[in-house]
Amino acid sequence: MEATRARAGCCGGIAEMLSYVIRRVIALLPVLLIVATVGFLLIHLTPGDPAAVMLGPDAAPDEVERARHEMGLDLPLPVQFLRWYGRVLRGDLGYSIFLDRPVIQAIVERLEPTMLLTGMSLAIALAIGVPTGVWAAVRHNTIVDQACMGFALAGVSIPNFWLGLNLILLFSIYLGLFPVAGYTPLAEGVLRSLQSLVLPAITLGSGASGLIARITRSSMLEVLGQDFVRTARAKGLRERLVIFHHALRNALIPTVTVIGLAVGALLAGAVVTETVFALPGVGRLVISSVLRRDYPLIQGALLFLAMIYVLVNLAVDILYVYLDPRVKYV
């Protein structure tokens, strides 16, 4: 009977769930507005004339004037501000003079490697992090625990560009198992594409796997100390069943919340990892635009990545409420 009630609490509230999702999406609007404002301010906080800075010291005055006009910098500030909002709402993130194409197009063209890389890294991080954390918790205070946590700490501490270079050295240069760098698009074969991302994904996922292992271990330890686990053991269930069926399902809830955080770190880490492995993704686009001072592109890419980050965290929050019936839809 207890079980039926719990089930009703979990799935009976589809309407409740839906209204929660809608409320959360509406609550997202001010955040996106602020993100857009920060993106706008970015250009206007630049010391000096952004158009002149962007084109460099050799640019002719009329070229600078034309760039100013194209970027709308010759308009009064409030007009620029409103125009910026209007454009962002329509999904128009501006025009990159350097790449000679709309910012959004430049981003979309580079999206495939970044999304695949981030996804693969997260998968690797979970595949390594969760079992490591569980194993450490089950063997609490033993050499296994210490080894697992040492491994996790190393994962959190290792600079991913250094790990990447070492992996290239070992697997590509000495052993010749993987391509040194570069990306094979999905269109040229899924398998080859994934193969070109194996080393980058391990590189990028190492930090997140350490983080996930540590969170999983501590929440697993907490759950293993609870009464219902003792009850499960007392009624003679096999240890395997207790750990995987009873404890793990509850212990994974904090792990889910950390995924949102991890995706932020992965998106930021993609900038570095794509540079190490010469992957033509959004991260490298960001870096080259920063080095060239291509302001519309920096603005657009920052906005785009922040939006992904915010949306992933929203998805995680919703998943969290779904997984943990104790959490109310507030």
Partner 1 sequence: MRAVEARPVAPVQPVVFAVPPGQLIWRRLKRNRSAMVGAITVGILATIAVFAPWVSPYDPIKNDLANSMVAPGSRFLLGTDNLGRDILSRVIFGSRISLTVGLVVQSTAVTIGTLLGLLAGYYRGPLDDGVSGLTNIMFAFPSFLFALAIMAVLGPSLYNVFIALGVVGWPTICRLVRGEALSLRSKDFVEAARAGGASDLRIMLRHILPNSLGPIIVAATLGVAGAILAEASLSFLGLGAQPPAPSWGSMLSRGRAYIWNAPWLTFFPGLAIFVAILGLNLLGDGLRDVLDPRLRH
> Which residues would be at the binding site for partner 1 (CB under 8 A)?
31, 34-35, 38, 42, 45-47, 153-154, 156-159, 161-162, 165-166, 168-169, 173, 217-218, 221-222, 264-265, 267-269, 271-272, 275-276, 286-287, 289-291, 293, 295, 298, 302, 305-306, 309-310
Minimum distance of partner 1 from residue 120's CB (angstroms): 18
Nearest-approach distance from CB 75 to partner 1, in angstroms: 20
The 10 Å CB-count burial string (b at 16+, else e) for 72-108 is ebeeeeeebbeebeeebeeeebbbbbbbeebbbebbe
- How do 95-96 and 101-102 pair as beta strands? antiparallel
Name the 3-class secondary structure at 69: helix
Toward partner 1, which CB reaches closer, 169 or 190? 169
CB-wise, 194 or 311, nearer to partner 1? 311
Q: Give pairs for 6-11: CB < 8 Å, separation 24+.
A: 6/325, 9/325, 10/325
Rounded Cα distance, 82 and 30, in Å: 16
In this complex, which beta carbon is closest to partner 1, that of residue 176 or of residue 236?
176
CB of 176 to partner 1, least distance (A): 13
Tokens in use for 171?
Answer: 């697997």
> Minimum CB separation from partner 1 for residue 162, in Å?
3
- Residue 263: how many CB atoms within 10 A of its CB? 22
Q: What is the distance between the alpha carbons of residues 62 and 48, in angstroms, rounded to a whole number?
A: 17
Residue 184 contacts residue 280 (beta carbons within 8 Å): no
How many residues would you count in the chain?
330
Dihedral class, residue 46 (left if φ above 0, else alpha if ψ from -120 to 50, else beta): beta
3-state secondary structure of 219: helix
Nearer to partner 1, 4 or 141 (CB): 141
Identify which of residues 52 and 165 has a Cβ nearer to partner 1 in the complex: 165
Question: Residue 243 CB, nearest distance to partner 1 (Å)?
Answer: 17
Q: Which is nearer to partner 1, 38 or 194 (CB)?
A: 38
Rank residues 35 and 126 by Cβ distance to partner 1 and give the closer one: 35
For the CB of residue 196, give the shortest distance to partner 1 in the complex, in Å: 18
The residue behind tokens 């007392």 is 234
Closest to 259 in 3D by CA, of 196, 229, 289, 215: 215
Residue 189: CB minimum distance to partner 1, A = 27
The minimum distance between CB 6 and partner 1, in angstroms, equals: 28
Nearer to partner 1, 85 or 161 (CB): 161
* Type of residue at 285: L
